[in-house]
Amino acid sequence: MNTPAPALTLPEELILLTLDPDRGRPTCKVRNLAFGTAGAALAELEIQGRIREEGGRIQVVNPLDPADPLLAELLRTLPQAKGRRSGMRARRWVDDFDRHVHEKYLDSLVERSLLSRETRRFLGLFPYHRHFPVAPDLVPAVFDRFSAAEAAGYPDHRDRVLAALVSAIGLAGELTRLGRNGRTAMKVMRRSEWTAAAVHYNVKQNESGGDGSGWSSGDSGGGGGCGGD
């Protein structure tokens, strides 16, 4: 008897889609995935009708807490809109909350027993984590669902947002099954989805040295995607 697939939020789906299940780490730089996870949380809030984007700023349109406690916590970080030009800049929120959102959703996946966590030490001194799927078919199932959406031309808005975020963190080439056409389609969606555009801006700023936060994941390195190492 097959176990039903777990219900996943967009941040969780992005984390699993970019996870190397054998090595227990993302197939891209951790910082870029953190930007992507933050953008995915905003996208989830928008899909649920809690926020909207106006002129590059996030505006709360429904302040009632979502059912997901993490989304409820994140919604409370956003100021109430007081006019068309009010609200917090999407780019800034992604940059400010990237690490927090990424760590919270990793914790959630561990608490839900979807991922297991191993703590290791770099050079025997500095701790870092590896995350492995508890069910061996978890990551392949997420990838197969993504590929099926791509093959169908992304008929669902949620799938288009996920594809846009994949492009924003630089993994379109690794995850598409349609080659150049697949990468191009994801890039078009990245440019039309404001959450993905905010993520891509921060990824490019970070890669060019424009981010002065000095944040490091404490890991021993990411994979070759998301701009490489």
* Six-digit token string for 16: 């699993």
The answer to whether 18 and 124 have CB atoms below 8 angstroms apart is no
Of the candidates 102, 147, 154, 156, the residue with the CA atom closest to the CA atom of residue 129 = 102
How far does Cα 118 stand from its chain's mean position? 21
Residue 87: pLDDT band (50, 70, 90) is: confident
* Six-digit token string for 44: 């989830």
Residue 181 identity: N
- Cβ burial of 148 (10 Å; 0-12, 13-18, 19+) is exposed
User: Cα torsion at 132, 215, 77, 202 (round to 10°)?
Assistant: -90
The answer to whether 29 and 203 have CB atoms below 8 angstroms apart is no
103-154: pLDDT as tens digits: 999 999 999 999 999 987 776 677 878 999 999 999 999 999 999 999 999 9
184-212: pLDDT as tens digits: 999 999 999 999 999 999 999 999 886 44
Which residues contact residue 52 at a Cβ distance below 8 angstroms, ignoring those fewer than 6 apart? Answer: 46, 58, 59, 61
The answer to whether 215 and 31 have CB atoms below 8 angstroms apart is yes
Which residue blocks in 18-137 are alpha helix, DSSP H?
Answer: 30-47, 69-75, 90-111
pLDDT at residue 89 tops 70: yes
Residue 138 identity: L
pLDDT at 221 (0 to 100): 41
Q: Mean pLDDT across the stretch 36-45? A: 98
pLDDT at 201 (0 to 100): 97
Which strands form 57-60's sheet, in the order they lie side by side?
51-54, 57-60, 88-89
- Cβ burial of 25 (10 Å; 0-12, 13-18, 19+) is buried
Residue 104 CA to residue 88 CA, distance in Å, equals 21
Residue 41 CA to residue 165 CA, distance in Å, equals 11
Q: Is 7 helix (H, G, I), strand (E, B) or coil?
A: coil
Element (H, E) at 198: helix 194-207
